[in-house]
Structure 1
Amino acid sequence: MEKVIDITERVPAMKKRRKRRTNFKFIALITIFLLIIVVLLYFQLPYSNIKKIDIKGAALREDAFYLQQSTLQVDDSLWGFKTSEVEQSIAENEWIKSVDVKRKFLNDVEITIEEWQKVAYISKDGEFYPMLENGVIFSEANEIIPIDAPIFLEFEDEALRKKLLKQLAELKPEVLSQISQINANPSETDPYAITLFMNDGYEVRADANTLGEKLNYYPSIIAQIEQQEVFEKGVIDIEVGTYYRPFSDVYTLNSDVEAESEEGGQEEKQNDEQQEQQTGEE
């Protein structure tokens, strides 16, 4: 025979389960209520205000400039602004590559700035203006001769200048730091010809279209030249292939050409004078 459980025996167990459920619901409601109170107090009291604003990545301009651009101030509400609007305000500057604004912890704001890389300077009216990899000439000049990037001279062609800046941005930092000065030497046969004067005394003849690819091998080229028992600094040509000529050969050749030109000019002058004398005698 099956045992029949009296309903009166199940009533205490049912009461216990019902009491546990009621207690759990009550605790959950109290917890939610307390959380709401804490959140409301957080927003109402100064605890939700900005205590610190960190600017990271600034190099071309000071932190104070970017802080002013953000329109944020200490003691402003941490939740009273949109990060996208702050990012857009700072990104309007043409030397800015990207901006990231984040709320950190309960009271901090972190603004991370990425500027376009400074790769060269251009000389104007005796001052040196930084040039960035995106082609922008930065508005604030250096009063002293810069040593942290090459100087552009005789670069009136804006398209050539922008092309070369992009190429310089592809160089390894240790190679870029070796360049002292860059001159434009365009011709009818090669409108992109340039000459680089290096800090270690060498000259490099190159093409602005392929500079970034070829000049990164500069350290190994110099190492091969200086491995010779007797070597002389000179001109490294990487326009088409890669070859090297000592200064004594390059500039002796140029001197000979100039001397021949002068001699030819003197001979023409003497011939002209003789013809004038003969005409006068007649």
Structure 2
Amino acid sequence: MKTTTEELLAFVAVIDSGSITAAAETLQQTVSGVSRALSRLEHKLDATLVRRTTRRLQLTDEGELFLVRARAILAAMEDAEESIARQRQRPAGRLRVDAASPFMLHCVVPYVRAFSLAYPEITLELSSNERVVDLMEQRVDIAIRIGALQDSTLHARALGSSRLRILASPAYLAEHGEPRTVAELRRHRLIGFTAPESLNDWPVSPDSIGDRDASAFVRIVPAMSASSGETVRQLVLGGNGIACLATFMTRSDVEGGRLRTVMDAALLDVRQPISAVFYQSASMAGRARAFLDFLAARLMV
């Protein structure tokens, strides 16, 4: 007997969700129905794909091999269905997008209305996390990540890059003066991040103004710190000190005169890459492509 799509979906859902119960919820089926589909698949293949214990599910060697093929088959089916759907209708369905709160607030939210007008059949679900999320665990279709990518199992699309700048409010600078050297900078109230520590390495030459050694950074000691870039931005806007932030979240503040850049002569040209990451199935979805094309065309970084 040949394997059915229902059985493939059940198998992949069980692995992705971590349990038969969670897979049943994802597929909107009964637990017994998913369990039977998985058992039928193993019977047809004459192989045990998943070892079941009271605490967890574990793929066998045969299961790992078959999972790769099952994902490819389901992705190809989804792509074929999307191709036909695009010929007769606009992209539709739910699209879950995750990004750190600064990027979400400054680079996604401003364009949501325009996107919804262009693609009214797509339902956006937006979430914000300061940490790197597990796409499967959080049921996220697309995650926007700032900085170098680490997870090689994900597909990625580059959206651009954003330069780091050192900034303060005009009110703060009027009261405390403007630093022009690293020594002067260290005497100011500096606002940094609680984690990771690398965010407190500022791209400014430690030796002298105008030194453009791209390997040189200055580790600052924050007078105050926060976990969110948006919180740091608000602290700087409130005149609490000087911070190093990306231009994607501060460009309008500088253009509007609410913030000023400092130490420009000693600043290194360091840019953080901005990428969208997703699993193969998301890359095949018309709604995901529509969203990324729309965002990339409007992103001011």
TM-score of the two chains, using structure 1 as the length reference: 0.20
Larger radius of gyration: 1
